């Protein structure tokens, strides 16, 4: 069993549907559709509902004075201590709106800290940016197939390599972990992209990086992880712990 004094929780929310959802968006700064915004909002509403229910159960179980927890229950958005987000519009605008809602609910100027991190952006797909996989398949079928099977070995033309993507995402996570420890934040919401979530899943499940494109990360859905002080990561609901490798991830 994995033991540690301090465990931090990070909930990664993937952006919803965008105007270019049928393509490899990567670093392209496209907008959320109305459906995409709704996907994210419904997921957050569900997470808040579950948290509020669990909080009420805890109060009942411990026979505490409900008045002590009035703010927590009536304002369940405080389940997150901080928000981190990719600066791309499909993530950033939702994160900013969320912070505004929390501020309005508490009637304060800034209740929930929000930090934008360039390293939380999606992988840059180079010449494939904004192009559908069907079009890529029609023009470069072998390269697309190779990339899908061995992304650590094959890189789209003028794109970010998988190793560079891996290293910058880990830099973001390590920075987030450090900020959380310094500020005594226990629970963070991270609004980001499918590639970032899939990468962390690979690491948490001790899978080779070549399996990254086989991992699931649905539009507008949450994936929750725990971070440990010894640079370990666990996918919530799974028993195993993986390592947040700072060096080369073997395929």
Of 78-82, 195-199, 244-248, the range with the highest mean pLDDT is: 195-199
pLDDT for residue 5? 59
| Measured distance between the N- and C-terminal CA atoms of the chain, rounded to whole angstroms | 27
pLDDT for residue 96? 95
> Given pLDDT bands bounded at 50, 70 and 90, which one contains residue 245?
confident
Whole-number Å distance between alpha carbons of 192 and 177? 16
Domains of the chain listed by start with CATH number: 8-22+78-124+160-235 (3.40.50.1240)
Return the higher-pLDDT residue of 3 and 68: 3
> Given pLDDT bands bounded at 50, 70 and 90, which one contains residue 108?
low
Q: What is the DSSP string of 12-75?
A: EEEP--BTTTTS--TT--PPBPHHHHHHHHHHHHHHHHHHHHHHHHHHHHHT--GGGGHHHHHS
pLDDT of residue 175 exceeding 90? yes
pLDDT for residue 243? 87
pLDDT for residue 74? 39
Whole-number Å distance between alpha carbons of 71 and 74? 5
Report the predicted TM-score, pTM, of the whole model to 2 decimal places: 0.86
pLDDT for residue 30? 96
pLDDT for residue 61? 46
pLDDT for residue 59? 41
> Given pLDDT bands bounded at 50, 70 and 90, which one contains residue 104?
confident
pLDDT tens readout for residues 115-160: 999 999 999 999 999 999 999 999 999 999 999 999 999 999 999 9
pLDDT tens readout for residues 20-34: 999 999 999 999 999
pLDDT for residue 7? 87
Percent of the chain at pLDDT > 70 equals 81
Q: What is the DSSP string of the chain?
A: ----S-EEEEEEEEP--BTTTTS--TT--PPBPHHHHHHHHHHHHHHHHHHHHHHHHHHHHHT--GGGGHHHHHSGGGG-SEEEE-SSHHHHHHHHHHHHHHHHHHTSS-SS-EEE-GGGSPPP-GGGTT--HHHHHHH-HHHHHHHHH-TTT---TTPPPHHHHHHHHHHHHHHHHHHHHHHT--EEEEEE-HHHHHHHHHHHTT--GGGGGGS---TT-EEEEEEETTSEEEETT----EE--SSPPP-
pLDDT of residue 232 exceeding 80? yes
Q: Which two tokens stand for residue 6?
A: 């301090």
pLDDT for residue 101? 84
pLDDT of residue 72 exceeding 50? no
Contact 81, 190 (CB under 8 A): no
Whole-number Å distance between alpha carbons of 220 and 42? 8
Contact 52, 149 (CB under 8 A): no
pLDDT for residue 160? 98
pLDDT for residue 202? 96
Angle 133-39-122 (CA atoms, 0-180°, nearest 5)?
45
pLDDT, mean over the chain: 86
Point out the least confidently predicted range of 77-81, 91-95, 191-195: 77-81
């Amino acid at each position: 069993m994995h033991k540690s004094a301090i465990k931090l929780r990070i909930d990664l929310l993937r952006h919803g549907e965008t105007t270019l959802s049928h393509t490899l968006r990567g670093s392209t700064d496209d907008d959320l559709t109305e459906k995409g915004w709704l996907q994210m909002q419904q997921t957050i509403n569900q997470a808040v509902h579950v948290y509020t229910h669990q909080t009420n159960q805890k109060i009942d179980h411990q026979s505490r004075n409900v008045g002590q927890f009035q703010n927590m229950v009536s304002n369940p958005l405080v389940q997150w201590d901080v928000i981190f987000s990719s600066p791309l519009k499909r993530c950033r605008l939702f994160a900013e709106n969320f912070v505004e809602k929390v501020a309005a609910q508490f009637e304060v100027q800034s209740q929930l800290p929000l930090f934008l991190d360039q390293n939380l952006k999606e992988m840059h797909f180079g010449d494939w940016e904004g192009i559908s996989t069907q079009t890529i398949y029609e023009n470069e079928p072998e390269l697309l197939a190779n990339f899908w099977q061995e992304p650590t070995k094959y890189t789209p033309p003028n794109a970010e390599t998988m190793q560079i993507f891996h290293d910058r995402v880990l830099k973001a996570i390590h920075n987030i972990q450090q900020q959380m420890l310094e500020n005594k934040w226990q629970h963070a919401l991270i609004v980001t992209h499918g590639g970032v979530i899939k990468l962390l899943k690979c690491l948490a499940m001790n899978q080779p990086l070549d399996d990254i494109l086989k991992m699931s990360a649905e539009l507008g859905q949450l994936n929750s992880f725990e971070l440990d002080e010894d640079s370990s990561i666990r996918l919530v609901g799974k028993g195993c712990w993986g390592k947040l490798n700072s060096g080369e991830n073997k395929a």
